């Protein structure tokens, strides 16, 4: 658009050539922005996963130094190890991974909800406790595990020294991977380190509940317990359901607590191992085909399991929008 000498305004219509050039430049810009994520998807998802699936049907033969066709034998051997007592390490790893499901969903999640509810009441020191709950989530898990492990150290650990004094100098070594206390210590670490993340999300969900609803219930004389379970829980169920599903996913990826707090060896016969930790050990041992078969089998099991959990959570209480 330009102004003439007489003061009138003359509109300049863009030519077809300039329009095509602008459209081409937009297309080039869009493809440049998409190039990196597409390349990342092709290499780190499509190629890696297809190679993993391909590897499950082969076995490395050291005599000829190459992979040879093995068919479904990797899966058959894995099934025998897991359910027919062929390898106790595989069975114990699976059992420990399954135990984290109730720990996450029936210990950590309810405790997080109760803590988030009382923090939302703005009680004295509520901001301090909010930071205290979230503190483990802000610290690197390696540092957190080192601090937690030192609490049970037999030389100077305060928890061990306290138990030793109470038990008359007969306190057990809680970190001994051959003892009965090793896995409970790892599960306790997960409870301690997992509260903060859940508390923050649930506290945000509770804060979005309209105050008019809670005020009306209080005028009707509702008790704290009924307010928590009859009003706050249903209105924050969307966040609870999401956390329940995410916690269920962690069954197949949980390995850092036993690895960092106890040992990366998994203990005798995998007593302190998990599925993810066992996959890590197989890869380090050069048994990539076994690790691939194990990972693929639990991926096949995990997909319908997670969808089933989601369906169940939606059936229990529908998500309420407000």
pLDDT band at 2 (very low <50, low <70, confident <90, very high): very low
When mean pLDDT is compared over 31-35, 129-133, 166-170, the highest value belongs to: 31-35
Q: Is residue 292 part of a domain?
A: yes
Beta bridge partners of 61: 66
Query: What local confidence, expressed as pLDDT, does residue 322 receive?
Result: 56
To the nearest whole number, what is the mean pLDDT of the chain? 83
Same domain, 152 and 65: no
Q: How is residue 321 annotated by DSSP?
A: P
∠ CA 276-190-280 to the nearest 5 degrees?
A: 15
Residue 8 has pLDDT above 60, yes or no: no
Q: Is residue 322 part of a domain?
A: no
Return d(Cα 273, Cα 268) in angstroms, integer. Answer: 9
Q: Which of 315, 224, 289, 310 is nearest to 62 (CA)?
A: 289
Helix, strand, or coil (residue 241):
helix
Q: Is the C-alpha dihedral spanning 100, 90, 255, 310 positive or negative?
A: negative
Q: Is residue 5 part of a domain?
A: no
Residue 182 has pLDDT above 60, yes or no: yes
Same domain, 91 and 230: yes
Q: Is residue 321 part of a domain?
A: no
Same domain, 149 and 39: no
Q: Is residue 4 part of a domain?
A: no
Domains of the chain: total = 2
Query: What local confidence, expressed as pLDDT, does residue 84 receive?
Result: 76
Residue 248, CA distances (Å) to 8, 71, 102, 167, 182 in order? 70, 31, 9, 37, 22
End residue of a domain, out of 45, 69, 93: 69
Same domain, 29 and 139: no
The pair of structure tokens assigned to 65 is 């130094």
Return d(Cα 123, Cα 80) in angstroms, integer. Answer: 55
Return d(Cα 146, Cα 151) in angstroms, integer. Answer: 9
Residue 319 has pLDDT above 80, yes or no: no
| Model pLDDT for residues 17-59, shown as the tens digit of each residue | 777 788 888 888 888 888 989 999 998 888 888 888 888 888 8
Residue 14 has pLDDT above 70, yes or no: no
pLDDT band at 107 (very low <50, low <70, confident <90, very high): very high
Beta bridge partners of 3: 9
CB atoms within 10 A of CB 278: 25
Same domain, 171 and 201: yes
Same domain, 261 and 177: yes
Residue 5 has pLDDT above 60, yes or no: no
Same domain, 59 and 81: no
Same domain, 178 and 45: no
Same domain, 252 and 309: yes
Q: Is residue 1 part of a domain?
A: no
For range 293-315, the mean pLDDT: 85
Which stretches of the chain are DSSP H helices? 16-41, 48-55, 73-83, 88-103, 109-120, 126-138, 141-151, 158-166, 182-207, 211-219, 224-226, 233-235, 237-249, 256-257, 275-284, 288-316
Contact call for residues 265 and 182 (beta carbons, < 8 A): no
∠ CA 38-304-86 to the nearest 5 degrees?
A: 105
Same domain, 160 and 222: yes
Helix, strand, or coil (residue 247):
helix
Q: Is residue 275 part of a domain?
A: yes
End residue of a domain, out of 69, 90, 109: 69
Same domain, 168 and 108: yes
Query: What local confidence, expressed as pLDDT, does residue 111 receive?
Result: 92
Query: In which domain, by residue range, is 254 found?
Result: 77-316
Same domain, 61 and 188: no
Least confident residue range of 130-134, 176-180, 222-226, 257-261:
130-134
Query: What local confidence, expressed as pLDDT, does residue 184 receive?
Result: 92
128 class by beta-carbon count within 10 Å (0-12 exposed, 13-18 middle, 19+ buried): exposed
End residue of a domain, out of 51, 69, 87: 69
The pair of structure tokens assigned to 195 is 């509260």
For range 238-264, the mean pLDDT: 87
pLDDT band at 103 (very low <50, low <70, confident <90, very high): very high
Which stretches of 42-108 are DSSP H helices? 48-55, 73-83, 88-103
Instruction: Output the domain CATH number for residue 152.
Output: 1.10.3720.10
Q: Is residue 139 part of a domain?
A: yes
Contact call for residues 88 and 270 (beta carbons, < 8 A): yes
Query: What local confidence, expressed as pLDDT, does residue 12 receive?
Result: 54
């Amino acid at each position: 658009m330009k102004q003439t000498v007489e003061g009138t305004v003359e509109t300049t219509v863009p030519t077809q050539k300039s329009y095509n050039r602008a459209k081409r430049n937009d297309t080039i810009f869009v493809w440049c922005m998409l190039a990196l994520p597409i390349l990342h998807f092709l290499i780190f998802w499509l190629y890696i996963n297809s190679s993993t699936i391909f590897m499950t049907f082969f076995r490395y033969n050291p005599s000829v130094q190459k992979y040879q066709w093995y068919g479904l034998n990797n899966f058959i051997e894995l099934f025998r190890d897991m359910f027919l007592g062929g390898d106790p390490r595989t069975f114990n790893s699976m059992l420990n991974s399954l135990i984290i499901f109730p720990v996450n969903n029936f210990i950590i999640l309810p405790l997080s909800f109760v803590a988030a509810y009382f923090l939302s009441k703005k009680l004295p020191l509520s901001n301090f406790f909010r930071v205290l709950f979230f503190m483990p989530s802000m610290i690197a898990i390696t540092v957190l595990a080192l601090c937690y492990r030192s609490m049970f150290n037999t030389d100077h650990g305060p928890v061990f020294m306290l138990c030793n004094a109470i038990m008359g100098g007969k306190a057990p070594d809680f970190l001994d991977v051959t003892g009965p206390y090793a896995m409970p210590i790892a599960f306790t670490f997960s409870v301690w380190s997992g509260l903060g993340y859940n508390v923050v999300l649930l506290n945000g969900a509770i804060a979005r509940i309209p105050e008019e609803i809670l005020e009306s219930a209080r005028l009707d004389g509702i008790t704290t317990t009924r307010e928590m379970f009859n009003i706050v829980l249903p209105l924050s169920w969307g966040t609870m359901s999401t956390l329940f599903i995410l916690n269920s996913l962690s069954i197949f990826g949980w390995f850092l607590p036993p690895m960092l707090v106890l040992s990366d060896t998994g203990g005798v016969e995998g007593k302190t191992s998990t599925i993810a930790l066992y996959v890590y050990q197989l890869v380090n041992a050069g048994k990539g085909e076994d690790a691939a078969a194990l990972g693929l089998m639990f991926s096949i099991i995990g997909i319908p399991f997670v969808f089933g959990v989601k369906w169940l959570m939606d059936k229990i209480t529908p998500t309420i929008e407000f």
